[in-house]
Amino acid sequence: MTIQRTSHARYEIWYHIAWSTKYRRKVFTNQATQESIKRLLRKIAEVYDCKVGEIEVLSDHVHLTLCVPPRIAPSRDVQILKSVSTKALFSHYKWLRSKYWGGEVWVGGYFIRTIGPGLTKEDIDRYILEQSEENQSEMSSPDAWHRGKSLAFDKICQICYTNMIVIVP
């Protein structure tokens, strides 16, 4: 992780962010579509002077680490990523209209956590890279997908869930 700079600030503000598709529908099952969404989110972040660390797009949700300038509120970061990506996705993937007639691909809420002492960006990056449909299908419940990976991942999940910040507009 490196210190970022603007004309009036030096910063290193990293977030772990996750959100799901509306109705938790598994609409992004195609690997090429998932890669396209990754590129799209990176491009959107770049336009707004944000930097994406790791990103994983699954069939029904997204995980990413994001470094943002201090002038942009965390809620605004997520709003930008979700709203701009929704417009682009509906424009590029016409079939989404049949799945989401209301014009929204993503749920209104999201998970966000700053990455700092006790939980490093590298821990979260490793956690995001370990996300996969296969790992999740092995678990007995949707909320138990993180169990049994390793001590490091249990630590991440314990910290994430005990200090969860959920913002619902």
CA 23, CA 42: separation in Å to the nearest integer? 24
Q: What pLDDT, on a 0 to 100 scale, did the predictor assign at position 119?
A: 72
Cα separation, 49 vs 69, in Å, equals: 7
Q: Which CATH superfamily is domain 4-167 in?
A: Transposase IS200-like (3.30.70.1290)
User: Left if phi > 0, otherwise alpha if psi is -120 to 50, otherwise beta: which for 91?
Assistant: alpha
Residues near 92 by Cβ (< 8 Å), separated by ≥ 6? 36
Name the pTM for this structure.
Answer: 0.72
pLDDT tens track, the chain, 169 positions? 678 888 889 998 999 999 999 999 999 999 999 999 999 999 999 999 999 999 999 999 999 999 999 999 999 999 999 999 999 999 999 999 999 988 899 999 999 999 865 777 888 888 888 887 666 555 433 444 344 444 454 555 454 444 444 433 3
Nearest-angstrom CA–CA distance, 43 and 49? 10
